[in-house]
Structure 1
């Protein structure tokens, strides 16, 4: 298995690099990679979601559940 970790992808420049890696993997193997992320920057998140991969936002379901439980909207911040 080919596994890579890309920590702190918080800018569009870093996201572009990650998307290129995803595209290269997909072209090389012919299989969409699994991508797990926890990104709060909307533009960066959208870039990853557009990549040829099966993408999973590991925070999405947790944040939604907490929001529903406490009736308070999240205030995303970097590196918290």
Structure 2
């Protein structure tokens, strides 16, 4: 029992390991694709909302200067 002369056949475990690894990678790639697609849809929606808001606002107002660390004088 402890002193086996032949090595056990573990090829089934190897194949199962590869299957699990590829399924996990496939799920990850599918998740990234879906996230990218949803992000693109969100970006399109935000751009449409921005166009609609700027069309309703009328003439463009002077944009205020954004404050950054370099523009702040002490």
Q: Which structure has greater strand proportion?
A: 1
TM-score by length of 2: 0.27
- Structure ID, larger Rg: 2
Higher relative contact order (CA 8 A, sep 6+): 1
